[in-house]
Amino acid sequence: MEDVYILGIESSCDDTSAAVLKNGVLLSNVTASQAVHEAYGGVVPELASRAHQQNIVPVVDQAIKRAGIEKEQLTAVAFTRGPGLMGSLLVGVSFAKGFARALGIPMVDVNHLHGHVMAHFIDEPDADNPHPPFPFICLLVSGGNSQIIKVNSYKDMEILGQTIDDAAGEAIDKCAKVMGLGYPGGPIIDRLARQGNPDAFQFAKPHIQGYDYSFSGLKTSFLYSLRDWLKDDPDFIEHHLNDLAASYEKTVVDILMKKLKMAVKDTGIKDVAVAGGVSANNGLRNAFRDAEKRLGWNIFIPKFSYTTDNAAMIGITGYYKYLDGDFVDIDAPAYSRDER
């Protein structure tokens, strides 16, 4: 068989990313992040689209150069079709269509959430990366999603439970924002939490049915508790920063792990992966290692570079779809909500 070169393109939120894979092995992965949103404490969709416009051509150019190939060698273009911010998606989708059409090669559309899960299948030239065996359970936790997924194959993913309101990453970012820390708050909370006492403070946990999640109550509980504490001590946040971060992070991790453990027990599937931006969190990673030791799970934790949005995960998903001949027409529109 001839070598298969896939160009992956990701532009669903605030990262413009392009990757090249040869026969499922990653050759390059280039990402331009957008610092412009920091001043606003969150992603501003219009600014994100504009930055994607500026970044897409140089990012793709770099990815092809670093892969050491010519663009004419590409076999297919895989792109994130959704879900995400419509203006952001349109930049990557339109670019992918024009690029593939100009080269006369097929296109493969990728669901962004499938991409996060498939990050576990990215192979690197010198690294032996164990792939989870199907079926496995995946906890997908990012800024926009919190889901427990039964992954039957690379394109058959069954959602067992998901958040009914905010995502875990959103809840962590909000906590950081309320305490006047930067954006995105996840890595900051993670760093502070490592030096704090996770049992210093207690916050409300949700009581909802099944495998679904809810984080809006926790956010409110944190806000109200803080308001009361600040009445007695206006410098309460500075005095207890590490403990607040550690206790809040622990609450989020406890909520995530409780439902995940239920799903693992009920399905009897002990191969358990974690994916998405929040999977970079050390508290969550430690909780997985603890479940491996105590409950006999086989755990799969992605490399830090594949936790947040990247085109390598889009490229690998596209590669498997390509092998199946699962292509998409040029008139396929982007979708902002999940339409797997």
Name the site residues for ligand KG4 (rule: CB under 6 A): 13, 142-144, 169, 172-173, 184-187, 190, 276-278, 280-281, 308-309
* Residue 75 vs 247, nearer CB to ligand KG4: 247
Pairing of strands 76-82, 298-300: unpaired
Q: How far is the CB of 50 from ligand KG4 (least distance, A)?
A: 19
Give min distance, CB of 71 to ligand KG4, in A: 27
- Kindly state the smallest distance separating residue 287's Cβ from ligand KG4, in Å: 12
| Of residues 129, 80, 128, the one with CA closest to residue 107 | 80
CB of 246 to ligand KG4, least distance (A): 12
> Residue 223 or residue 230: which is nearer to ligand KG4 going by CB?
223
Angle of CA points 151, 155, 159, to nearest 5°: 45
Q: Is residue 277 within 8 Å of 308, Cβ to Cβ?
A: yes
Nearer to ligand KG4, 169 or 315 (CB): 169
Integer-rounded Cα radius of gyration of the chain: 20
C-alpha pair distances (Å), 3 with each of 21, 68, 123, 290, 319 = 10, 14, 15, 41, 11
- The DSSP symbol for 25 reads E
Rounded Cα distance between 105 and 97, Å, is 10
Of 269 and 313, which CB lies nearer to ligand KG4 in the complex structure?
313
Residue of 127, 132, 186 whose CA lies nearest to 154: 132
Residue 208 Cβ vs ligand KG4, minimum distance, rounded to whole Å: 21
Query: Toward ligand KG4, which CB reaches closer, 19 or 100?
Result: 19
Contact 183, 42 (CB under 8 A): yes
Burial (CB < 10 A; 0-12, 13-18, 19+), residue 108, is buried
Residue 31 or 75: which CB sits closer to ligand KG4?
31
First to last CA, the chain: 30
Which residue matches tokens 């990453």? 169
Of residues 149 and 172, the one with the C-beta less far from ligand KG4: 172
Least Å from the CB of residue 322 to ligand KG4: 23
The residue of the chain with the least Cβ separation from ligand KG4 equals: 277
Q: C-beta of 145: minimal distance to ligand KG4 in Å? A: 7
Distance of CA 112 to the CA centre of its chain: 9
